[in-house]
Amino acid sequence: GGGSGGGGGAFVAQVPSNAFELGKLKRNKKKGIAFLIAEFPGPGQAGWEGKGVKEFGLAATAGARKSIAVQGGRVKLKIKPGKKGKRARKVRRALERKGKAKVKVLVTYVPTGGLANTQARKVKLIKK
Protein backbone atom coordinates (compact mmCIF):
# COMPACT_ATOMS: atom_id res chain seq x y z
CA GLY A 1 0.00 0.00 0.00
CA GLY A 2 0.97 3.61 0.63
CA GLY A 3 0.08 6.85 -1.08
CA SER A 4 -3.29 8.04 -2.25
CA GLY A 5 -4.05 7.65 -5.92
CA GLY A 6 -4.82 11.06 -7.40
CA GLY A 7 -8.19 11.46 -9.09
CA GLY A 8 -8.83 14.01 -11.84
CA GLY A 9 -5.28 15.32 -12.01
CA ALA A 10 -6.45 18.89 -12.65
CA PHE A 11 -4.41 20.20 -9.73
CA VAL A 12 -0.69 20.43 -10.40
CA ALA A 13 1.57 21.48 -7.54
CA GLN A 14 3.80 24.42 -8.35
CA VAL A 15 7.31 23.00 -8.49
CA PRO A 16 10.07 25.60 -8.30
CA SER A 17 12.27 25.96 -11.36
CA ASN A 18 15.54 24.07 -11.29
CA ALA A 19 16.85 25.67 -14.48
CA PHE A 20 20.16 27.36 -13.78
CA GLU A 21 22.94 28.76 -15.90
CA LEU A 22 26.67 28.32 -15.73
CA GLY A 23 28.32 31.54 -16.80
CA LYS A 24 31.84 32.88 -16.99
CA LEU A 25 34.91 31.35 -15.47
CA LYS A 26 37.23 33.62 -13.49
CA ARG A 27 40.69 32.33 -12.69
CA ASN A 28 43.14 33.10 -9.94
CA LYS A 29 46.38 32.16 -11.69
CA LYS A 30 48.49 32.78 -8.60
CA LYS A 31 46.64 30.12 -6.61
CA GLY A 32 45.67 27.84 -9.50
CA ILE A 33 41.98 28.02 -8.71
CA ALA A 34 38.93 29.13 -10.66
CA PHE A 35 35.53 30.57 -9.87
CA LEU A 36 32.64 29.37 -11.94
CA ILE A 37 29.80 31.87 -11.94
CA ALA A 38 26.39 30.21 -11.65
CA GLU A 39 23.00 31.91 -11.88
CA PHE A 40 20.31 30.24 -9.76
CA PRO A 41 16.58 31.04 -10.07
CA GLY A 42 15.82 30.87 -6.34
CA PRO A 43 16.70 29.49 -2.92
CA GLY A 44 18.00 25.95 -2.59
CA GLN A 45 21.17 23.90 -2.32
CA ALA A 46 24.07 23.70 -4.73
CA GLY A 47 27.01 21.38 -4.93
CA TRP A 48 29.69 20.37 -7.36
CA GLU A 49 31.83 17.38 -7.96
CA GLY A 50 34.56 16.33 -10.31
CA LYS A 51 37.52 14.02 -10.46
CA GLY A 52 40.45 15.74 -8.85
CA VAL A 53 38.60 18.80 -7.51
CA LYS A 54 37.51 19.69 -4.01
CA GLU A 55 33.90 18.58 -3.96
CA PHE A 56 30.84 20.13 -2.46
CA GLY A 57 28.44 17.33 -3.30
CA LEU A 58 24.82 17.13 -2.35
CA ALA A 59 23.56 14.24 -0.26
CA ALA A 60 21.40 13.32 -3.26
CA THR A 61 24.36 13.11 -5.61
CA ALA A 62 27.60 11.78 -4.23
CA GLY A 63 26.58 10.98 -0.69
CA ALA A 64 28.75 13.91 0.27
CA ARG A 65 28.11 15.88 3.41
CA LYS A 66 28.87 19.31 2.11
CA SER A 67 26.79 21.58 -0.04
CA ILE A 68 26.17 25.29 -0.06
CA ALA A 69 22.90 27.09 0.53
CA VAL A 70 22.04 29.52 -2.24
CA GLN A 71 19.48 32.29 -2.17
CA GLY A 72 19.20 32.64 -5.92
CA GLY A 73 21.00 34.99 -8.22
CA ARG A 74 24.72 34.87 -8.99
CA VAL A 75 26.98 32.62 -6.98
CA LYS A 76 30.73 32.06 -7.32
CA LEU A 77 31.61 28.38 -7.11
CA LYS A 78 35.23 27.90 -6.07
CA ILE A 79 36.87 25.17 -8.13
CA LYS A 80 40.21 23.99 -6.78
CA PRO A 81 42.25 20.80 -6.74
CA GLY A 82 41.22 18.22 -4.18
CA LYS A 83 43.46 16.94 -1.39
CA LYS A 84 42.90 13.18 -1.62
CA GLY A 85 43.03 10.60 -4.33
CA LYS A 86 45.06 9.72 -7.38
CA ARG A 87 43.22 12.12 -9.69
CA ALA A 88 43.64 15.04 -7.28
CA ARG A 89 47.40 14.38 -7.12
CA LYS A 90 47.49 14.31 -10.91
CA VAL A 91 45.69 17.67 -11.14
CA ARG A 92 48.01 19.26 -8.57
CA ARG A 93 51.09 17.84 -10.30
CA ALA A 94 49.94 19.12 -13.70
CA LEU A 95 49.43 22.59 -12.19
CA GLU A 96 52.90 22.56 -10.67
CA ARG A 97 54.71 21.20 -13.72
CA LYS A 98 52.79 22.47 -16.72
CA GLY A 99 50.95 25.36 -15.12
CA LYS A 100 47.57 24.04 -16.23
CA ALA A 101 45.12 21.22 -15.62
CA LYS A 102 41.77 20.37 -17.15
CA VAL A 103 38.94 19.13 -14.97
CA LYS A 104 35.31 18.30 -15.62
CA VAL A 105 32.95 19.70 -13.02
CA LEU A 106 29.35 18.63 -12.47
CA VAL A 107 27.23 21.31 -10.82
CA THR A 108 23.97 20.23 -9.19
CA TYR A 109 21.24 22.57 -7.99
CA VAL A 110 18.21 21.55 -5.96
CA PRO A 111 15.62 24.29 -5.47
CA THR A 112 13.83 24.19 -2.11
CA GLY A 113 10.91 21.81 -2.62
CA GLY A 114 11.99 20.99 -6.16
CA LEU A 115 13.92 18.51 -8.24
CA ALA A 116 17.67 18.31 -8.78
CA ASN A 117 19.27 19.48 -12.00
CA THR A 118 22.89 18.84 -13.00
CA GLN A 119 25.07 20.50 -15.62
CA ALA A 120 28.61 19.66 -16.67
CA ARG A 121 31.37 22.11 -17.50
CA LYS A 122 34.99 21.59 -18.49
CA VAL A 123 37.24 23.87 -16.48
CA LYS A 124 40.87 24.68 -17.14
CA LEU A 125 42.84 25.60 -14.05
CA ILE A 126 45.93 27.72 -14.68
CA LYS A 127 48.78 28.40 -12.28
CA LYS A 128 51.60 30.80 -13.07
Predicted local confidence at residue 14, as pLDDT: 83
Name the pTM for this structure.
Answer: 0.84
Look over the chain and give the mean of its residue pLDDT values, rounded to a whole number.
89
Predicted local confidence at residue 51, as pLDDT: 92
Low-confidence residues of the chain: pLDDT under 50: none
Please tell me the distance from the alpha carbon of residue 95 to that of residue 89, in angstroms, as a whole number. 10
